[in-house]
Amino acid sequence: MPIPAQVLMIIGTVASLILAVLIVYFVLKGVGYLIYYILKGVYLLLKGIFVGLYKLFEEIYYDISGKPKPVKKASISEEQKFNQPQTYVEPEIIKPMLKEVETVQPIAVYCSECGSQYTEKMLEQLAETGFAFCVYCGKGYKANLVEA
């Protein structure tokens, strides 16, 4: 048999062996999970049956003997849950923010926010009312009028 055929046969044999090992691994893993969950289910089923029988016979015991059934106290954490006063948090009222107003000298000619020059209308408004807003950025200015 030629050498390339022997190499391919060895590679095929190794691949088949690896595939067989993987199949066996996953089958055993699946069987293990299956057995685990079956045993877990049987355990929980038997536990439920025995707890139910215990409670049934306990009730029968207290009915036959005439003894009062002891009352179990609630845990401290449950009592604290029921006894805590209800707290009410009032929603915070958000006050509307006023625009910033900066006091300027009546001879000011440039906006301190955007750097643009005051318009004639802004200067007239400052002179008349002592209050104006920049037409470019909206910042408010209040004139610091000096009376003579």
Give domain status of residue 94, yes or no: no
Write down the pLDDT at residue 50: 98
- Report how far apart the first and last C-alpha atoms of the chain are (Å, whole number): 122
How far, in Å, CA of 21 to CA of 36, rounded? 22
Range of the domain at 66: 1-88
116 in the same domain as 51: no
61 in the same domain as 125: no
Q: How confident is the chain (148 residues) per 10-residue block, as mean pLDDT?
A: 93 98 98 98 98 96 89 66 64 60 62 81 80 81 62
How far, in Å, CA of 125 to CA of 96, rounded? 25
Q: How many CB atoms lie within 10 A of CB 104?
A: 18
Give domain status of residue 96, yes or no: no
Residue 76 in tokens:
């401290």
* Domains held by the chain: number: 2
| Strands across the sheet containing 131-133 | 101-104, 140-143, 131-133
User: Does pTM top 0.75 for this prediction?
Assistant: no
